[in-house]
A and B are shown apart, each in its own frame.
Chain A
Amino acid sequence: MNTITDIKELSELRAISSNLFNKYGFPTKKDEDWKKSTLNNFLENNKKLEIYKDNNETIYDKAFENFNHNKIITVNGLVQKIEFVGKDKDKLIITTINEYYKKNNKHLSKLFSNKKNPLVVANNALATSGFYLEIKDNLDLPIIIYHQFNSKIDQMQLHQKNYIYINKNSKAVLFEKFINENIKTFISINTNIDVEKNSHIKNYILNSHNTENCIFRFKKVNIAASANYESFIFSNITKTIRDEVEINLNESLAKCYLYYTQFLKNDEDHEIKVKINHLAENTQSNQFSKSIIDGTAKGIYQGKIFVDQIAQKTNGYQLIKSVLLSDQCTFHSKPELEIYADDVKCSHGSSSTSLNKDELFYLMARGIPEKQAKRLIVQGFLSEVIEKISDDVFKNYFISKTEEMLK
């Protein structure tokens, strides 16, 4: 393992974060941002989890997708294997985050800038694993990051910090797949993404079969002029997971598109928290989320659009829809707008309904059995979001995942 204790800047930043965490402690229901969170109970009951630091890992290769792609495999937070293909080999750089710290020790503060979120400051203080990924040019193939976690980290806490840098004029698709074979672990993944001028990044996430751990994923994305960030998170069979993103649209014509679908049943849950900061003129953001909730499951969406006073001509759009299939399930939606500029176009809408009985009757009146009719409606409801995915390969991938999920 790399020794990085001699980097003075890093030690100082960690000490600041450590002090802040000692002041805040783990979030509780008293904190407005964590009021409905299901992570609180886990964290309250597991304050003393040992911190995982080992790095001798085994790769689980059955999770690999069978189409052509650049592979990055991390196990318990550390990169264990990379396979970059063809010309993409020259366009990608990957190192451990510690190597990055060593080489760039004068520019670390931006990676440690969050001073408010208790779990992010805990990550800043404690993270020892993670990677630095640089995309230098347009990629021919997508990158898939296989985040694997195994039983070596059972009942421990793991803090991972990543930094992804997308050079100007680059296009890339980044798909993240999480494979959890561990239990009762607290996993915190904090990823900073810088999307430079005129670059386009598509970041898709399959968040499935994660029910035994408490997972907090925080992303901070800085978007430069004429650059785009598109993300889609597909969540199914998840529990005690919070996906949080903070987007800074820093320069003119920066755009972000955040899409989510959730299908939660039994006692599953998933939280989404979004904050979009419009910090320059002519920036655009679009949030579109659809959830199907059943059983005693719980879905949460907190989405805030902030428009700075200099961010004239902002276009911010947010639409959150959920269908509740049972009497016991819940969906909490908290849309927020905070606008300081006067020439902006911002809208937000949120609705929770039960399954539309007229739609069901229409399909059944055509001979389609009730169960199959409900499945068609649910699939149709979610597919409106999936259709927005601009990469056709992954659009089809998630359509088939949805079909698989509804079988």
Chain B
Amino acid sequence: MLSIEKLNISVGDKKILEDFNLKIGKGEVHAIMGPNGSGKSTLSYVLAGKDGYEVDGKIIFKNENIIGLPADARAQKGIFLAFQYPIEIPGVFMNNFLKTSLNAVKKAKGQKEVDVVEFLSLVKQHAKKLGIKDEQLGRALNVGFSGGEKKRNEVLQMSLLEPDLAILDETDSGLDIDALKIVADGVNALRSPNRSFLIITHYQRLLDYIKPDFVHVMVNGSIVKTGCSKLAQELDKIGYKEFQKAI
């Protein structure tokens, strides 16, 4: 699904990722854990196609090097980034945004676009599963949403767009226990042999609900250790200090 090879990312003189390598197979769930400032969010932005970084190396997604492709093209190809801090856009209403996004992706895939009636039925069905009220769908995008509502909204978009690769950037931050469970259930419902996940988190608690196949420890822009889901539990006990010392 995804193969990152010798990826270097910098902003000005500052190197953020250096010779970074990662392979994610079809249907696999990978978690990247690491301390603040280790480059996890930058990695997610670069995978999604954000401007403003100097990028070198290869990002092979479904057998195509996507470096240089703009964010919209990557999303249309099936990459989805659930933002750590979802952006508030005043005046852009949820329903209009979701329908525009869904149809843009469908159009790119050569699928039939949905009309208003089909869209409303689809979105309500997905929203209900995530405990999102109809009233929220009539509001401006993320404006006045609580932290939990924003994160649920990210999962709603993910379930509508049905991506091949979903990157979750600290989706657990700002969620209470009940909301975390709802979000995790939403993610688990999307797990399939054809869909891969890259979950970025500081804490093990999200991984109690979404069991990863692989856990990677990322420090200072590189993966320093890879293991199975047990590694996350170990990290919860020992923290990241040991890995930082080693570097």
Contacts and interface: CB of A to CB of B under 8 A. Distances in A.
A111 to B, nearest CB: 40
Interface stretch (B24-32, B44-52, B210-218, B221-229): B44-52
B75 A367 contact: yes
B86 to A, nearest CB: 7
Contacts of A368: 72, 100-101, 104
Interface range for A: 20 to 34
Given A364-B72, A376-B92, 17 more contacts: A359-B87, A359-B89, A361-B50, A363-B97, A365-B83, A366-B97, A366-B101, A367-B105, A367-B108, A368-B100, A368-B104, A369-B72, A369-B104, A376-B89, A377-B92, A380-B140, A384-B91
Given A365-B71, A365-B81, A366-B75, A379 B91 contact: yes
16 contacts: A359-B89, A361-B48, A362-B87, A362-B89, A363-B92, A364-B49, A364-B70, A366-B75, A366-B105, A366-B161, A368-B104, A377-B89, A379-B91, A380-B93, A382-B91, A383-B91
A177 to B, nearest CB: 25
B142 to A, nearest CB: 9
Closest 7 CB pairs of A and B: A380-B91, A380-B92, A367-B75, A364-B71, A366-B101, A367-B105, A362-B87
B171 interface: no
Contacts of A369: 72, 104
A300 B31 CA distance: 52
B76 interface: yes
B90 interface: yes
A400 interface: no
Contacts of B96: 376
A359 to B, nearest CB: 5
A373 interface: yes
A61 interface: no
Contacts of B80: 365
Interface string A375-396: 0110111111001000000000
Contact of A357 (B49, B51, B101, B108): B51
Q: Is the interface of A mostly helix, strand, loop or mixed?
A: helix
Contacts of A377: 89, 92
A6 interface: no
A358 interface: yes
A262 B3 CA distance: 47
A368 B157 CA distance: 13
B100 A372 contact: yes
A365 B161 contact: no
A369 B91 CA distance: 19
Contacts of A365: 48-50, 71-72, 74-75, 80-81, 83
Interface in B132-182: 140, 157, 161
Nearest to A381: B91
Given A362-B83, A380-B140, A367 B51 contact: no
B90 A367 contact: no
A368 B72 CA distance: 6
Nearest to B108: A367
Interface in B62-76: 70-72, 74-76
A368 B75 CA distance: 8
A367 B101 contact: yes
A357 B53 CA distance: 14
Contacts of B75: 364-367
Contacts of B100: 368, 372, 376
B53 to A, nearest CB: 12
Contacts of A376: 89, 92, 96-97, 100
